[in-house]
A and B are shown apart, each in its own frame.
Chain A
């Protein structure tokens, strides 16, 4: 009796319609030929051409492996349930992506311009500058040094926070938005899996 270890990721992308065990998880066994055999076991076939997300229980995968290869033990080290994302192998429109990125970029650009202006107005930054000038014994209208350094400090702060400028990263850590993005995608996947479980259309 041989042990086969499989490791499933929360979501995996497939482009071919015939889905094998090797497409959805990593497989390890002491004898490579057993692992190879397991990888080639067919799980199911996608019937529709359109892109779709299918929620699969790891028990479904284990059952198929045990049915196909008798006398082995399967251990899953990955997710108990995972999402299978099928995308047909067609060329995606590149220009569409750039168009969308342009529109979102515009929204973010004007949006953050607006947000910082509402903040400055709300916090009454101009008045605070005036008070600082006055209380340091100078002319209340100031000499522009505070304004200048504030205007320099703000982009510096954003650079520090986002941790990069264009593609030149300040350090190799991911940026806060990349972390947020990853978290959002994980939550999205878990929600789809749980919804599917509740409706009973998970592959068990």
Chain B
């Protein structure tokens, strides 16, 4: 490879990474997962810490994906990763459904007065059933 090829790789990779990160975190911020978690636990004063956690998480996950290196973490690390990723993805799914105003519109259409809590529980159970089916049977 010549120097100009390497140089263009460097620019492409750097800009690609920058924009992917910008887009991805704009999306996460819009969905409001982190703010909702902070609001739920009343820990809004740790918001900057959460942003750092997101930064390091994405960096480590990205390195891990790109270099496919071994990361000897044992069952505990694996369990923590699965749990954290699961909770986060669940929050993201619920937050997305909320951002696009699916439930309010739907309940307005059928003039639903009560049972919003039940619908949220069913929403979660449906996600659980779908995930279990996808992971173990499909």
- Chain A residues packing against B (C-beta within 8 Å): 97, 100-101, 103-117, 119-121, 125-126, 132-133, 136-139, 142-143, 145-162, 164-167, 175-178, 180-181, 184-185, 188
Contacts of B39 in A (CB 8 A): 181, 184-185, 188
Interface pair A104/B10, CB less than 8 Å apart: no
A111 to B61, CA, bound (A): 9
- Can you sample 24 A-B contacts with CB below 8 Å? A104-B34, A104-B37, A104-B50, A106-B84, A107-B88, A108-B84, A109-B54, A112-B53, A115-B61, A145-B1, A145-B9, A147-B13, A150-B17, A152-B13, A153-B18, A155-B17, A156-B14, A158-B58, A160-B18, A160-B21, A164-B48, A177-B35, A177-B47, A178-B47
Interface pair B48/A108, CB less than 8 Å apart: no
Count A-B contacts at CB 8 Å: 246
Residues A111 and B33 in contact in the complex (CB < 8 Å), given A104-B38, A151-B63: yes
Interface pair A149/B25, CB less than 8 Å apart: no
Interface pair B14/A149, CB less than 8 Å apart: yes
Q: How far is the CB of A57 from chain B (nearest CB, A)?
A: 26
- Chain B residues packing against A (C-beta within 8 Å): 1, 5-6, 8-22, 24-26, 28-30, 32-39, 41-44, 46-67, 80-81, 83-85, 87-89, 91-92
Interface pair B61/A114, CB less than 8 Å apart: yes
A136 to B13, CA, bound (A): 14
A115 to B88, CA, bound (A): 9
Q: How far is the CB of B49 from chain A (nearest CB, A)?
A: 6
Interface pair B55/A159, CB less than 8 Å apart: yes
Contacts of B28 in A (CB 8 A): 112, 115
Interface pair A150/B66, CB less than 8 Å apart: yes
Contacts of B24 in A (CB 8 A): 115-116, 119
Which residue of A has the minimal Cβ distance to B88?
A: A111
Residues A154 and B17 in contact in the complex (CB < 8 Å), given A116-B62, A161-B25: yes
Interface pair A184/B36, CB less than 8 Å apart: yes
From the candidates A117, A161, A162, name the one contacting B64 in the complex (CB within 8 A).
Answer: A117
Which residue of B has the minimal Cβ distance to A139?
A: B1
A178 to B50, CA, bound (A): 11
Interface pair B80/A146, CB less than 8 Å apart: no
A64 to B92, CA, bound (A): 46
From the candidates B17, B18, B19, B85, name the one contacting A113 in the complex (CB within 8 A).
Answer: B85
